[in-house]
Structure 1
Amino acid sequence: MITRGYLESGDAFGDWLTGVLADRLNGWHGGIRVCRIEPASHIVCRYEFGTGLRVVGKFFGAPTGARTRYDADVAMENEFLRLRRVSGWIRVPHAVATNSNFQSVLVTEYINGPTVRELLDAGASLYDPLTGVAHLLRRLHDATRTSFKRERDFAYFHAVLDQNGLPGPLRERFNRLLGAWWHGTRLDRGGCMVHGDATPGNYLFDGEICAIDFEGARHAHPVRDLGILAAEIRASGASTTTAEDYIGHLLWQYSGNEDEFRHHTAVLPFFMALGYLRIARLPWRAAERDRLLAEAEACLGAIHR
Structure 2
Amino acid sequence: MSIEREVGRLEPGDAFGDWLADVLADRLREWCGEVRVYRLEPASHVVCRYEFTGAAFSVVGKFFGAPTGAKTCYNTDAAMEIEYDRLRRAVRWVRVARPLAMNSRFHSVLITGYVSGPTIRDLLTAGGALYEPLTGVAHLLRRLHDSTRTSCNREREFAYFHAVLDQNGLPASWREQFNRLLGAWWHSPRIGSDVGCMIHGDATPGNYLFDGDICAIDFEGSRDHAHPVRDLGILAAEIKASPGSNPGAEDYIGHLLWHYSQSVEEFRRHTAALPFFMALGYLRIARLPWRAAERDWLLGEAEACLAAGPG
TM-score, scaled relative to structure 1: 0.98
Equivalent residues in 2 for 1:148-297, closer than 5 Å: 148-188=152-192, 189-219=194-224, 220-297=226-303
Equivalent in the alignment of 1:67: 71
In structure 2, how many angstroms separate the alpha carbons of the residues matched to 1:27 and 1:231? 45
How far is 1:148 from its partner? 1.0
Partner of 1:35: 38
Q: Could you tell me how far 1:238 is from its partner in structure 2? A: 3.2
Change (3 A) 1:2 1:27: closer
Tell which deviates more after alignment, 169-178 or 79-88.
79-88
SS of structure 2 residue aligned to 1:37: strand
Cα separation, 2, equivalents of 1:114 and 1:136: 17
Q: Which amino acid aligns with 1:258?
A: V
Say if 1:196 and 1:217, in contact at 8 Å, map to a contact too. yes
Q: Partners of 2:246 and 2:112 in 1: how far apart? A: 37
Equivalent of residue 51 in structure 2, options 48, 51, 54: 48
Once superposed, what is the RMSD of the aligned Cα atoms? 1.0
Change (3 A) 1:27 1:248: closer
Between 161-170 and 232-241, report the one with greater CA deviation.
232-241
For residues 231 and 257 of structure 1, the distance between their equivalents in structure 2, rounded to whole angstroms, comes to 23
Following superposition, the deviation at residue 149 of structure 1 comes to 1.3
Work out which of the residue numbers 126, 132, 145 in structure 2 matches 1:128. 132
The answer (yes or no) to whether the contact 2:185–2:310 under 8 Å persists in 1 is no
8 Å contact kept, 2:79–2:220: yes
> 1:14 pairs with 14, 17, 22, which one?
17
Residues 188, 310 of structure 2: 8 Å contact kept? no
- Return the alpha-carbon distance in structure 1 between the equivalents of residues 257 and 30 of structure 2: 49
Percent pairwise identity: 71
> Does structure 1 residue 107 correspond to structure 2 residue 111?
yes
SS of equivalent residue, structure 1 residue 303: coil
**2:63 & 2:286 partners in 1: Cα distance?**
26
The corresponding residue for 2:101 is: 97
Q: Work out whether residues 230 and 277 of structure 2, in 8 Å CA contact, stay in contact via their aligned partners in 1.
A: yes
SS at the partner of 1:36?
strand
Kindly provide the amino acid, as one letter, of the partner of residue 252 in structure 1. Answer: W
SS in 1 for 2:139: helix
One-letter identity of the residue aligned with 1:116: I
* Deviation for aligned residue 1:88: 1.1
How much does 1:215 deviate? 0.4
Instruction: Say if 2:9 is the partner of 1:3.
Output: no
CA contact (8 A) 1:8 1:30 kept: no
Measured after TM superposition, the shift of residue 241 of structure 1 is 4.0
SS of match in other structure, 2:309: helix
Query: Per the alignment, in what secondary structure is the counterpart of residue 125 of structure 1?
Result: coil
The farther-off stretch of 64-73 and 232-241 is: 232-241
**TM-score scaled to structure 2, two decimals?**
0.96
1:205-246, Cα deviation, whole Å (9 max, x unpaired)? 000000000000002100000000000000002354400000
Separation (CA, whole Å) in 2 of partners of 1:203 and 1:24: 25
How much has 1:27 moved relative to structure 2? 6.4
Partner of 2:29: 26
Q: Which amino acid aligns with 1:278?
A: R
Q: What SS is found at the alignment partner of 1:278?
A: helix
Which of residues 139, 147, 154 in structure 1 aligns to 2:151? Answer: 147
Give, in angstroms, the shift of residue 304 of structure 1. 4.7
Q: Using a 3 Å threshold, how does the CA distance of structure 1 residues 38 and 240 change in structure 2: closer, same or farther? A: closer
Contact 1:112 1:206 in 2 (8 A): yes
